[in-house]
Amino acid sequence: MSGGIGGVSISTVRTCRLSGIISDMARIAKVLIHMGRDDPIFIFSHIDADGICSAAIIIELLIEMNKPFVLNFFPQISVESFREFWQEVEPRYAIFLDLGTDAPLEYIENTPGVSLGIVIDHHVFSIRNSYSKSLVINPRFWGLDGGVEISSAGMTFLLANTISNFFANNPISLFCAVVGALGDAQDIGAKRSLLGLNRSIVEYGKRHGILCSYEDYILIGRGFKPLYRLLAEMFIFEIPGVSGSYDGAIDFLIRIGIMSHDDDPEKIFWEKLTPEQKDVLRRKLLEALVLKYSGKYSIEELNNILRGYVYEFLADKEFFCRYARDMSILLNACGKMRAPEIAIKGLLNPSDQSAVQRIFQLYERYRAILSSVFSNLDTKIDLMGEVAIYDGRDEIHEELTSTISSILASSLKDRVKVVIAIARSIEGILKISLRKTNLLEKSLTDILKKISEKMPNIIGGGHESAAGAYIPEESLDLFLSILSKEILS
């Protein structure tokens, strides 16, 4: 197994033929047979929708193969708490899902007790030296763009699908592959369609009657939110009198004749409207928006922004969430609320009513926290020169900082250069999530590097425009002052 995927050397990038990938996958799947014979397989997975979907697929596979396993979720593994956990459990077999490629490889290769590890991921990696007891499933090894062509869940599906009867017994695994891709925002094709291997998976699902895709308005939550909530909570556009107001949304629906005063608004869903009613709603929505956005968008442009491909699960009509985009936000919410295992329960056993109910509750709670953060935002933001600070130490837990800083960055994009959100992590440590706006030319990675030269006790990393750091609470003032200086210099 030296040198990478079933003999494929790490430095030779294969041409991206699906048949080639599948035959490599089949070889890797054979290796799985040797895992978990004497010791359970430890699965470590990311807590977002893609990680949760990857975990659901791999679990179905291990169950099918009759393998013992233990699943654990982590927001990331570059932290001390993961190292401690790893040392405590001393895995003999490990599978890492959607947690990056470099760090998992180091853990597997540098731990003598590990016999064999599999890393399934789609992020950029840098390790170039050879490794001896790891198998890596990263689309970038085959020359594919892991950013947009396939997610970890998609790669996990391709692996599992090489086992005979797996797909026939577990059609939901294909839906999970699509949900993972959408959760990672890989729908960047025309009309928000999926591309590359993601599209091949969709086509495969269509041929087997598992999935369908069609163009419609993209209304996230369409399957489980009543229409008035869909409209009031839609945030790509501000609909005058409707956005942010449930009463306003109900009035709007009554005014345009979609519902009457006697109807129960909780029972009116987009998917239950007739085609004529949908047409009326689309037209009235566009009319309202074109007034608000006149000069900025034409009616056609507005229509195009709202339209896109919907991916719908067909295999089980009773399934609690048949729309892939809806599912991705539910799963993400479970992860953000630190309960990804509830999401797994619901995916593996959709007839478990209490798990399904808890998934929806977690989503509602997540939404409520976010909307409380974003109401009266100005009173909660401290401006420090070019930095906007949301100090959530007494309000939010650390998994929420990235979402909050992202949304803040888009709403404050004309006012500041950097946005940060702060929450408490473990004892005495703060998690800080940073986002830059277009007003900042420097890269956040460079700035963090500069900060860590002056603050050696900081753990941080990320990308050019999004980064995160852990710092001791008593160093917050120092962190902020170095940050503001670096932004100005």
Q: Which residues bind Mn ion (CB under 5 A)?
A: 50, 98, 151-152, 184
What is the DSSP code (8-state) at residue 238?
Answer: P
Nearer to Mn ion (CB atom), residue 3 or residue 147? 147
Q: Residue 336's Cα: distance from chain center in Å?
A: 10
241: left (phi over 0), alpha (psi -120 to 50) or beta: left
Q: Smallest gap, in angstroms, from Cβ of residue 176 to Mn ion? A: 12
Which of 367, 475, 357 has its CA nearest to residue 422? 475
Residue nearest to Mn ion (CB): 50
Q: Smallest gap, in angstroms, from Cβ of residue 195 to Mn ion? A: 15
Q: What are phi and psi of 95, to 5 degrees?
A: -125, 125
Nearer to Mn ion (CB atom), residue 46 or residue 322? 46
Query: 325 is written with which tokens?
Result: 């985009």
Rounded CA-CA distance 215/67 in Å is: 41
Nearer to Mn ion (CB atom), residue 99 or residue 412? 99
Rounded CA-CA distance 390/405 in Å is: 8
Q: Smallest gap, in angstroms, from Cβ of residue 49 to Mn ion? A: 8
Q: Smallest gap, in angstroms, from Cβ of residue 108 to Mn ion? A: 19
Rounded CA-CA distance 123/155 in Å is: 12
**End-to-end CA separation in angstroms for the chain:** 50
Rounded CA-CA distance 302/238 in Å is: 12
Q: Smallest gap, in angstroms, from Cβ of residue 77 to Mn ion? A: 14
Spatial neighbors of 376 by CB under 8 A, at least 6 apart, are none
Nearer to Mn ion (CB atom), residue 121 or residue 233? 121
Nearer to Mn ion (CB atom), residue 101 or residue 162? 101
Nearer to Mn ion (CB atom), residue 50 or residue 486? 50
Nearer to Mn ion (CB atom), residue 233 or residue 399? 399
Nearer to Mn ion (CB atom), residue 152 or residue 161? 152
Q: In this structure, what is the dihedral angle of CA atoms 51, 389, 452, 147, given to the nearest 10 degrees?
A: 30
Q: What are phi and psi of 144, to 5 degrees?
A: -95, 155
Q: Smallest gap, in angstroms, from Cβ of residue 241 to Mn ion? A: 38
Are 68 and 41 spatial neighbours (Cβ–Cβ below 8 Å)? yes
Rounded CA-CA distance 277/273 in Å is: 6
Spatial neighbors of 89 by CB under 8 A, at least 6 apart, are 42, 70
Q: Smallest gap, in angstroms, from Cβ of residue 325 to Mn ion? A: 16
Q: Smallest gap, in angstroms, from Cβ of residue 253 to Mn ion? A: 37
